[in-house]
Structure formats: C-alpha cells, structure tokens
Amino acid sequence: MSDEIVIRRCDDADLAALEMTEPPGAGVARSHLQHQATGKIVYAAAWQTHQPVGAVVLDLASNHTPELKHLFVQEAARGAGVGTVLCAWTESYAAQAGFDKIYLGVGVENQGARRLYERLGFTPTGQTTTTTYQYVDDDGRKQWATETDDILEKTLAR
C-alpha cells in the first residue's frame, strides 16, 4: 500500500468519495463541482490510497488575483504534509494560468494554519475581512458562524 499523496482536479466521478468525508447533507463537494463547471474555480483533492484526505479551492474570479480557499485536511492526515502539497499544487496551477500572486484569508484565531501559510511564504497584507456564513456541523445540523480573517498573499514563482 502506497502512502504517496496525489493531488488532482476533482470531477463528477469523485463525488461519492468526496461526500463520504463531509457531514451528512453538507453538499460541499457537490457545490464545488457545480461551481467548477462555470470555470470560476478549480476544485482539487489530495488522494492517498484512493481516498480523499484533503481538498482545496482556487477561486479564479477574486479581484484579478486568485484566492486559495477552503483548504481542508482530514484530521487523520494532518501533520503529514497534505496541506503543504495542496498549497503547492494550487500555487503551481495559478502560476501556469499566468497569475503573479495568490492570496488567502486565515482566521485570526487559527494560528496553526497561519504558521503553515507563513512557512510557505505567504505574508500579511494588513487587511482583514469578516464573513458570516452557514455550514453543516458533524451532526448534519445547519449552523451560522462569523469569522474574521487576516489576508495573506504570496508572489508566485514562474
């Protein structure tokens, strides 16, 4: 059994496997695949032994600079470099698409993620955003959350 992590763009054939990693009724993968079909985002997943262990969205319609969004790594795969590989794949995709920079928002309380992004070369812009959104919790219940994010950016190598 290989422990190799493979990153690739998701397609409709991946939907069932991706949905198995979500809370019941969340519809995250389905929504990302539908949005990807419009050409405005790229939805990619990290696969290990044919199972999704993480995913990321690259929003190509964000202010002329693509936004790395919705980076998620399954708890059992955290600390194994999955987030790093997903970020690298996303940066490479953006650079190949002709972009010079990429940005992301990281929750002000999410210091672990912030350390990862800064280690990968993202730097604070001094900007923050606050977003209120609805999500489905682990028990399948809809919840509301408000998150304040620091905006970080990175110049891409080409």
What pLDDT shows up at residue 143? 96
Range of the domain at 142: 5-155
The C-alpha atoms of residue 5 and residue 51 are separated, in whole angstroms, by 10
**The pLDDT of residue 1 is above 70:** no
Q: From CA 26, how far away is CA 135, in angstroms rounded?
A: 7
Domain tally, the chain: 1
Confidence grade of residue 157 (pLDDT, cut at 50, 70, 90): confident
Q: Can you spell out the DSSP letters for 76-98?
A: GGTTTTHHHHHHHHHHHHHHHTT
Residue 2: predicted pLDDT: 56
Q: What is the mean pLDDT of the chain?
A: 95
What is the percent of the chain where pLDDT is above 90?
Answer: 91
Average pLDDT over residues 53-82: 93
CATH (domain of 129): 3.40.630.30
Asked if residue 156 lies in contact with residue 100, where contact means CB atoms within 8 angstroms, the answer is yes
pLDDT, tens only, 33-66 = 999 999 999 999 999 999 999 999 999 987 689 9
